[in-house]
Amino acid sequence: METRSEQLFEAAKKYIPGGVNSPVRAFGSVGRTPRFISSARGDRIIDVDGNEMIDYICSWGPGILGHTHPRVIQKVQEACEDGLTYGAPTEKEVHLAKLIAELVPGIEVSRLVSSGTEAVMSAVRVARGYTKRDKIIKFKGCYHGHSDGLLVKAGSAALTTSVPDSAGVPADYTKNTLVAQFNDSTSVEELFAANKGEIAAVIVEPVAANMGVVLPDEGFLEFLREITERCGALLIFDEVITGFRLSLGGAQEYYGITPDLTTLGKIVGGGMPIGAYGGRKEIMEMVSPVGPVYQAGTLSGNPIATTAGIETLMILKEDPGIYKRLEQKAKHIAKEVKETAGDVVCVNQIGSLLSIFFSDRGVTDYESAIASHTGKYAEYFSYLLDAGIYVAPSQFEAMFLSEAHTEEDISYTCQKMKEYFSRFRSTKGK
Ligand SMILES: *Cc1c(COP(=O)(O)O)cnc(C)c1O
């Protein structure tokens, strides 16, 4: 008997490429049929067949409060009554921009857009406009959305060339994007030395969370701050995941390092489509209509999305204990997995972000991340899914904890993970 999800997936594939509106949702690397979701509440997500699952994807990050937080939903409902969009300024945008400036150390002035991709694309444009330089440095394994210039991988002469990481991106569009190795200062120094006076910015996920969670080595972010300053380049922290997640002020507050520009997304929209980029006033004054860098958006600062963002940030701000509780939950899972799985896995955890790599060595960069055993991950994923636990359908995505995760659900999750790992270990030698 086909499930409703299976039927819908077949139907979806007729009208939508691969049946999904974002590739990872297709469950391609885990060999299962994606669950079509009908509703979600708290830490639970419910599919069209009535399967209720404990959700550790949390929409890939926005769901820090859990699903359908009553305060957020109420404000959004009220806002809908006043109209969905005007294409004109509103008081709410002032409120959100002020909140962002208050919470994020590196941001005085910010611009709202509709996605993380747009935020990063625009921040890079500002950095280039401000420095009057063209080249940027990004890190292998860091994801910054799908704009042409950032969809690059290192070329064969790794330190000097980069090539498009997607069909349809002209090589000309990526020739100004240089690729360095995460946690490898030498690779950055070499790029600066080979491109003197040409680097506009270094962009980094201060905690990488799109190759699985990979922490910056001690001193690495300090090094990036120092070399960019020394060489007249800007430092851009892509905090689309880490913003409002590692702490109220994001990774920059957590590590005490202030970048020149910051990009935000995910949590800042409280579950609605918002991205934002911002920095010091002097830099952001490059942006049109004040300055010469053009950037616009029909639905930018949308009143409904802005309402969800404001309410979410207000709830986080009012509750200083929240980050500690979130971290304890992630630590709990990390500890139990390490105890049972031992050296079969590498667990990287920081704040409410967590990755369980199927690798017997430390994961500190792209190479060590992709050395993980994705087949074993798929098996683990299936085991959890069948037990009603919804984790990312890819080894290279983070596990997200929310305020709504109950102790009971976390204990159940740990029990199922331990069950899986004790079997996995006992069959390891066969
Ligand atoms: C998700 C993400 C993006 C892209 O955001 P979208 O809203 O999906 O366009 C950019 N950077 C990082 C670090 C992300 O995690």
pLDDT at 428: 47
pLDDT at 269: 98
- Examine the pLDDT at 73 and tell me if it is beyond 60: yes
The pLDDT tens digits of the residues spanning 177-204 come to 999 999 999 999 999 999 999 999 999 9
- Give the Å distance between the CA of 117 and the centre of ligand 1: 6
- Examine the pLDDT at 429 and tell me if it is beyond 50: no
Q: Check pocket membership of 397 for ligand 1, CB cut-off 6 A.
A: no
- Give the Å distance between the CA of 324 and the centre of ligand 1: 25
The secondary structure of residue 35, as a DSSP letter, is: P
* DSSP per-residue letters across 367-385: HHHHTS-HHHHHHHHHHHH
Give the chain's mean pLDDT: 96
Task: Work out which ligand 1 atom sits closest to the CA atom of 238.
Answer: 13
- Give the Å distance between the CA of 213 and the centre of ligand 1: 14
- Examine the pLDDT at 159 and tell me if it is beyond 80: no
End-to-end CA distance of the chain: 34
- Examine the pLDDT at 427 and tell me if it is beyond 70: no
Q: Check pocket membership of 311 for ligand 1, CB cut-off 6 A.
A: no
- Average pLDDT, integer, range 1-12: 96
65: its two tokens: 């409060």
Task: Give the residue, by CA position, lying nearest to ligand 1 atom 13.
Answer: 240
- Examine the pLDDT at 64 and tell me if it is beyond 70: yes
* DSSP per-residue letters across 181-234: -TT-HHHHHHHHHHTTTTEEEEEE-SSB-SSS-BPPPTTHHHHHHHHHHHTT-E
Which residue is listed with tokens 């506009």? Answer: 200
Q: Check pocket membership of 145 for ligand 1, CB cut-off 6 A.
A: yes
Out of 252, 266, 274, give the residue to mutate to test ligand 1, the one with the largest number of ligand atoms within 8 Å of its CB. 266
- Give the Å distance between the CA of 114 and the centre of ligand 1: 11
The pLDDT tens digits of the residues spanning 115-143 come to 999 999 999 999 999 999 999 999 999 99
Q: Check pocket membership of 403 for ligand 1, CB cut-off 6 A.
A: no
pLDDT at 153: 84
Residue 108: is it exposed, middle or buried by C-beta count within 10 angstroms (0-12/13-18/19+)?
middle
215: its two tokens: 């922490």
pLDDT at 426: 52
Task: Give the residue, by CA position, lying nearest to ligand 1 atom 14.
Answer: 240
Going by C-beta distance under 8 Å and a sequence separation of 6 or more, which residues neighbour residue 324?
Answer: none
User: pLDDT band at residue 114, thresholds of 50, 70 and 90?
Assistant: very high
Residue 147: is it exposed, middle or buried by C-beta count within 10 angstroms (0-12/13-18/19+)?
middle
Chain mean position to CA 194: 31
Pairing relationship of beta strands 353-357 and 399-400 according to DSSP bridges = antiparallel
pLDDT at 156: 65
* DSSP per-residue letters across 248-269: TTHHHHHHT---SEEEE-GGGG
Q: Which residue has the higher pLDDT, 159 or 389?
A: 389
pLDDT at 266: 98
- Give the Å distance between the CA of 145 and the centre of ligand 1: 5
Active site amino acids: 143, 238, 266
pLDDT at 423: 86
The pLDDT tens digits of the residues spanning 208-239 come to 999 999 999 999 999 999 999 999 999 999 99
